[in-house]
Amino acid sequence: MAFLTKLKEIEKLIESRLNSVSSPKEFEELESEYFNRKGKFSLLMKELKDLPPDLRPEAGEKANILKRKLNGLFQEKALSFREKKVAGGLVDFSLPGHRSWEGKLHPLTQVLEGIVEIFCGMGFEVVGGPDIETNYYNFDALNFPRDHPARDMQDTFYLGRDLVLRTHTSPVQVRVFEKRKPPVKILAPGRVYRHEAINSRSYCLFYQVEGFYVDENVTFADLKGILITFAREFFGKEIELRFRASFFPFTEPSAEVDIRCIICKGKGCGLCKHRGWLEILGAGMIDPAVFEAVGYDPERYSGYAFGMGVDRIALLKYGIDDIRLFYENDIRFLRQF
């Protein structure tokens, strides 16, 4: 049968040429010559349909046997090109390579940038301030009494008689008030320090975002509007909020803002201490005493302020139960973000 004769001829020819191939380029050319859509072996296989019906079974069986044999020979040859002597050792280039890790932003930086982006979209200007502050900017101008517990050595890192590591980013508020006249609409992100015991829920340093807006006829309703907008943009439009009456020396009235627990949906769990709610920030209307300290007319101007801990927001967003993970630089933890 002429077809079987052609099979034997092409088998001998491919084996001979395959043995003489000495480079990957020659190998690819040979493979293309015989096995692409118009290759010699591919065209021979198409001749099966033209054989008499009684000869097709035998011819088809022998053709498939040869095809499997040739595929095996080509795979062995391909493997031989992938294995090369490199630096005195055997390297198999067919094995998967080692993954190269790309650098990414720290999870706290990601959360901070997300917060800043939302408030900038509502017209806030980002302003920074020094980490080392005087008692005046950190306490006095913000209406903290001389005997306020926050001034105690147990809560504040003192660097001298009048210098402290700032305990909040609120001093930026006073510095802006001294330099600008209303209207002012400022966002002050940064790092703050407190002399606290380090555990799963607190750390001696953390990141905070302070925001404030001063103008004529600013109301608590304006404050609620921007905080509700922020919460829904950051946590999702279905998030539930509540405002609770509170106290801060530099705001009156004051409130703390909670969201419905994102883990248990209000049923109670370890993250929310089985209360169903999670505190995310403190806020209120700026106390007239603060305006008087910086030369603003409290009869003409009003304003609000709010502050949130970025670390706490990150814990809630990602469902993390230990704040120390953000500062231990464990690459296994950081790679998850």
- What percentage of the chain exceeds 70 in pLDDT? 92
Residue 184 CA to residue 111 CA, distance in Å, equals 25
Instruction: For residues 163-192, give the mean pLDDT.
Output: 91
Question: How many degrees, rounded to 5, is the angle at CA 121 between CA 119 and CA 126?
Answer: 50
Query: Is beta strand 89-92 parallel, antiparallel or unpaired with respect to 302-309?
Result: unpaired
Residue 100 lies in a domain: no
Q: Are residues 270 and 207 in the same domain?
A: yes
The SS3 call for residue 52 is coil
Q: Are residues 41 and 185 in the same domain?
A: no
Give Cβ neighbours of residue 292 (< 8 Å, ≥ 6 apart).
298
Regarding predicted confidence, which is higher, 99 or 223? Answer: 223
Q: Are residues 121 and 75 in the same domain?
A: no
Residue 102 lies in a domain: no
pLDDT at residue 190 in the model: 93
Q: Are residues 10 and 147 in the same domain?
A: no
pLDDT at residue 72 in the model: 83
pLDDT at residue 302 in the model: 94
Whether omega for the bond prior to residue 253 falls within 30 degrees of 0, making it cis, is yes
Instruction: Write the pLDDT tens digit of every residue in 28-67.
Output: 888 888 888 778 878 877 777 777 878 778 877 888 888 8
Domain count, the chain: 2
pTM: 0.66
Q: Are residues 183 and 317 in the same domain?
A: yes
pLDDT at residue 260 in the model: 86
Q: Token match 């030369």: residue?
A: 295
Q: Which domain holds residue 164?
A: 107-334
Residue 161 lies in a domain: yes
pLDDT band for position 87 (cuts 50, 70, 90)? very low
Whether the pLDDT of residue 170 is over 60: the answer is: yes
Residue 166 lies in a domain: yes
Q: Are residues 157 and 265 in the same domain?
A: yes
137, 171 Cβ separation under 8 angstroms: yes
pLDDT at residue 85 in the model: 47
pLDDT at residue 222 in the model: 95
Q: Are residues 120 and 264 in the same domain?
A: yes
Q: Are residues 202 and 118 in the same domain?
A: yes
Among 65, 92, 119, where does a domain finish? Answer: 92
Whether the pLDDT of residue 153 is over 70: the answer is: no
Q: Are residues 32 and 159 in the same domain?
A: no
Q: Are residues 149 and 280 in the same domain?
A: yes
Phi/psi zone of residue 88: left (φ > 0), alpha (ψ -120 to 50 degrees), beta?
left
337, 107 Cβ separation under 8 angstroms: yes
Q: Are residues 169 and 223 in the same domain?
A: yes
- Chain centroid to CA 181: how far? 37
Residue 99 lies in a domain: no
Q: Are residues 81 and 120 in the same domain?
A: no
- Chain centroid to CA 249: how far? 35
Q: Token match 């969201």: residue?
A: 259
Q: How far is CA 150 from CA 60, 124, 142, 305, in A?
A: 91, 28, 12, 19
